[in-house]
Amino acid sequence: MDPSKRAEAGGAASATPVRGWSERPLTHVLVLVLATCVHWLPRLSGPIDLRYDGGVYYVLGTSLAQGRGYRLLNEPGEIQAIQYPPVWPLWIALHQRVLGTHDPLVVGQVLRWSSALIALAYALAAYALARRILGAWPGLLASLLAALYFHTLFLEDLCFTEVPFALLTVLFFVAAGSPRRGFRAAAPLVAAAAFFMRTAGLALLAAWALEALWQRRWKALAGRTLLASTCLFAWQGYVANVRDGPEYQRPAYAYQRAPYQYYNVSYAENIALLDPFVPEKGGISAGVLAGRIGGNLGRLLIGLGESVSTTRGFWEWPLKSLSRKLGRWVPLRPVLAPLAALGLAVVAGLVLLARAGHVALVLYVTCSLGLIALLPWPGQIPRYLMPLTPFLALALAGTFAALVLRSRWSGGLLCVLVLVPQAFALRQTLTLYHNTLRYPRPPGPDLEGSIFFFEDGEEWRAFYAALGWLAQNTDARAVIASSSPHLVWLHTGRKAIMPPFEADVEEARRLLDAVPVDFVVVDGLRFVDVSQRYASPVMAAHPEEWEAVYRQPDGPLAIYRRHRP
């Protein structure tokens, strides 16, 4: 393909395979299928994990399936949702309509099977893209790194959008770089679908337009800019229409649309807080935003290294074991050196890709990193980097292939730096973190399913047990405050909300009274500890108003019921 035609294909056209690497695509496909089966077969039982954002997507899917609009059914007033675009909830709604039920234990099982199929499609698509750019064996390396990465496995298990979004972005570059006109014609549709899967898809639309600008292809620039503008204005127009409506202006309770209510407001409102989980710190200033961006950019280099190997915690694991055996502290910071080296190898690979003409791909990674740098959750950087893993792994594989041509020793060292930690993380994840959970199903027996637990394992078991108690011991009209209100609604059918994030105990009490909340769940979760920081002090300060009616045996979780005159 000559350079002009390659430009017409979107800058992702096929490159000459690296010499010395055997071309065995069928064997490589079988390896990817086998690898996917190995890590999915042990975790096919039970419903997909609906914790965190997964529960929100499921609630929205239920609303769509029942023809009730795009609404958070768990909330009093069943308010319109404005944070997440609708493609993933539509996927969930499709499952519910086909199965004829919205029972999360029934639909969730099929969603888990669907997730396994998405994982396989993701691995094969990543291989198709990497093979076309680098050749078969580097392509296999890149696709295995992407498919077996720790956060890929974890996010596949959750009802989240990261892996489906990554699949769509990879398919976009496969289509945009295809020699077939029909495939290239599908690229705009795939790009639009990616945006309406996650708003981070704006980086993909922007990168595609910037590529046309770089190449001075004005007609292509106009068409791609029109596509990006249409998608952005369609979604933001909907958000603005909701925000200007009477429902938003007169919420069902006072703090329903407070900026810290991160599922009930837009991203723009939420990230305008200095710390969305500690809103009393106030809003963000220009200086603080610059500091946030600078700090996140520093973390991103390590994040790049993690995304093509494994997370920092697994790199530190052997050192922590050595520390326990020696009985003295062993420094952990040395693991930053190999992670930084891998990050630099990824950057070098991106430079090689840009020089080879894959401008849109490199621009997409760059724009995505810029968006991540804006976010106030540094602990979530590995999660937000996961959809970039197929492209980061592709860049690393390109560096690896170039090193092999120069020195097999340096190429082998890089391979060890990548594969050994990832193999260790895969083993530990599937043996230590892969657990079973009993889902309450009153009045029948509990359902046992597969789930990944981390530091909050026992606390989550206690939380699900509490859901069973709430389903059997609360009135159908009760309103429950919890740090996981969507899970409460899914498993009990009761209206459920977040507690107010108010440090002032009396103000938090007033807000709870105004809803009014009938039950408060104070859990022991560490990742989202808002019930402990904001609800528990109210219970302690006013025992005459709140009675503990359920407690976790030998644990911190408690359910409080309001005393009624």
Three-state SS annotation for 468-527: HHHHHHCCCCCEEECCCHHHHHHHHCCEEECCCCCCCHHHHHHHHHHCCCCEEEECCCCC
Mean pLDDT on 278-300? 89
Domain boundaries, the chain: 3-266+281-432, 455-562
pLDDT tier at 326 (50, 70, 90 boundaries)?
confident
| HSE toward the beta carbon, residue 117, CA cutoff 13 A | 5
Asked if 44 and 113 count as a contact pair (C-beta separation under 8 A), the reply is yes
Burial class for 250, CB neighbours closer than 10 Å (0-12, 13-18, 19+):
exposed
pLDDT of residue 15: 41
Q: What is the mean pLDDT of residues 263-279?
A: 91
- What is the residue whose two structure tokens read 């509490």? 466
Q: Can you give the pLDDT at residue 430?
A: 85
Greater model confidence, 273 or 17? 273
Report the distance separating Cα 382 and Cα 396, nearest Å. 17
Amino acid of residue 316 = E
Of the listed ranges 136-145, 152-161, 176-185, 313-322, the least confidently predicted one is 313-322
d(CA 560, CA 521): 6
> Average pLDDT of 43-62?
96
Q: Which has more confidence, 413 or 172?
A: 172
Residue 16 has pLDDT above 60, yes or no: no
pLDDT of residue 431: 85
- What count of residues does the chain have? 565
CA dihedral 410, 416, 422, 426 (to 10 degrees): 160
Alpha carbon separation from 348 to 353, 361, 403 (Å, rounded)? 9, 14, 11
CB atoms near residue 124 (< 10 Å):
19
71 DSSP assignment: B
The pLDDT confidence band at residue 554, using thresholds 50, 70 and 90, is confident
Which of these ranges, 49-58, 204-213, 422-431, has the smallest mean pLDDT?
422-431
Query: Residue 169: helix, strand or coil by DSSP?
Result: helix
Share of the chain above pLDDT 70, in %: 93
Determine the Cα–Cα distance for residues 192 and 204; give it in Å rounded to an integer: 9
Q: Looking at residue 88, what is its pLDDT? A: 98
Segment holding 60, helix H or strand E: helix 53-65
Average of pLDDT values for 105-134? 96
pLDDT of residue 19: 38
Residue 9 reports pLDDT greater than 80: no
Average pLDDT of the residues in 40-48: 93
Task: Find the angle CA(374)-CA(343)-CA(452) to the nearest 5 degrees.
Answer: 75
At residue 358, does pLDDT exceed 50?
Answer: yes
**pLDDT surpassing 50 at residue 151:** yes
Residue 10 has pLDDT above 60, yes or no: no
Q: Is the pLDDT of residue 50 over 50?
A: yes
Cα 390 to Cα 155, 171, 198, 410: the distances in Å are 14, 11, 17, 23
Q: pLDDT digit string (tens) for 172-194?
A: 999 999 999 989 999 999 999 99
Nearest alpha carbon to residue 168 among 83, 235, 85 = 85
CA distances to 3, 338, 371 from 294, rounded to whole Å, are 38, 22, 13
Asked if 509 and 538 count as a contact pair (C-beta separation under 8 A), the reply is: yes
Task: List helix spans (H) across 272-407.
Answer: 286-307, 312-326, 336-355, 359-373, 381-385, 389-406
User: Peptide bond preceding 376: is omega within 30 degrees of 0, i.e. cis?
Assistant: no
- Mean of pLDDT values over 373-384: 88
For the whole model, what pTM was predicted?
Answer: 0.92
Q: Is the pLDDT of residue 269 over 50?
A: yes
User: 21 or 334, which is more confident?
Assistant: 334
For residues 36-45, give the mean pLDDT: 92
CA 220 to each of CA 8, 19, 386: distance values in angstroms, whole numbers, following the listed order = 9, 34, 29
Say whether pLDDT at 18 is over 60.
no
End-to-end CA separation in angstroms for the chain: 81
What local confidence, expressed as pLDDT, does residue 379 receive?
82
Residue 559 has pLDDT above 90, yes or no: yes
Residue 455 DSSP code: T
The listed range with the strongest mean pLDDT (135-144, 282-291, 318-327, 475-484) is: 475-484
Contacts of 391 (CB under 8 A, 6+ apart): 169, 361, 364, 365
- pLDDT score of 485 more than 90: yes
pLDDT tens, 502-536? Answer: 999 999 999 999 999 999 999 999 888 999 999 99
The sign of the CA dihedral 135, 140, 143, 145 is negative
| DSSP H/E element including 551 | strand 546-551
Mean pLDDT of the chain, nearest integer: 90
- Look at residue 407 in the predicted model and tell me its pLDDT: 63
466, 124 Cβ separation under 8 angstroms:
no
Arithmetic mean of pLDDT, 535-546: 94
- Report how far residue 332's alpha carbon sits from residue 317's, in angstroms, rounded to the nearest whole number: 9
Q: What is the pLDDT of residue 406?
A: 66
- Cα–Cα distance measured from residue 84 to residue 56, given in angstroms and rounded to the nearest whole number: 9
Q: What is the Cβ-side half-sphere exposure of residue 90, based on CA atoms within 13 angstroms? A: 9
What is the SS3 assignment for 513? helix
Lowest mean pLDDT among 161-170, 445-454, 526-535: 445-454
| Structure confidence at residue 17 (pLDDT) | 40
User: What pLDDT is stored for residue 12 in this prediction?
Assistant: 38
| Cα–Cα distances in angstroms (integers) from residue 370 to residues 297, 300, 364, 367, in the given order | 8, 10, 10, 5
